[in-house]
Amino acid sequence: MIIFGIGIDVVEVERISLSLTEFGTRFSNKIFTRVERDYCERQKRPAIHYAARFAAKEAVAKALGTGIGKQLAWLDVEVSRRSSGEPEVSLRGDGKIFAEANNITQIKISLTHAEHYAAANAIVLCKA
């Protein structure tokens, strides 16, 4: 396998918190899958977990080289957790089609968050 791309993103937790407050489910349903919303809403501070997932989606879009738009929609990227606690990414829709067309075999991500910021990085691997 070789590296197809890498991406990183940092998000202010307050920005996501304000969007959740101002736009409610209209915002969360547009950006986050049901799995992501269910996970975040179970947490003590949902906004910080939403922010980490937002950063992860941006990092994945950068690593794929597509950005969020025509080839990759917000809901095409889903961030979940394995039983070990390790975050994982799955692609669907146009994101999955793009990955298959480019022989992408794996996406590794790392998430972190503190009181005011959440960050994520992504490494996309493909067949040589």
Contact 10, 118 (CB under 8 A): yes
Instruction: Check if 116 is active-site.
Output: no
Name the active-site residue from 44, 62, 70, 96.
Answer: 62
Q: How far is CA 26 from the centre of its chain?
A: 18
Contact 19, 30 (CB under 8 A): no
Per the DSSP assignment, residues forming a β-bridge with 124 are: 5, 107
Residue entry with tokens 């968050």: 113
Q: Estimate the crossing angle of helix 46-64 against helix 34-41, to 10 degrees.
A: 150
DSSP 42: T
CA distance 107 to 88: 8
Name the active-site residue from 44, 113, 116, 127.
Answer: 113
Instruction: Check if 108 is active-site.
Output: no
Residues annotated as catalytic (active site), given as ranges: 62, 113
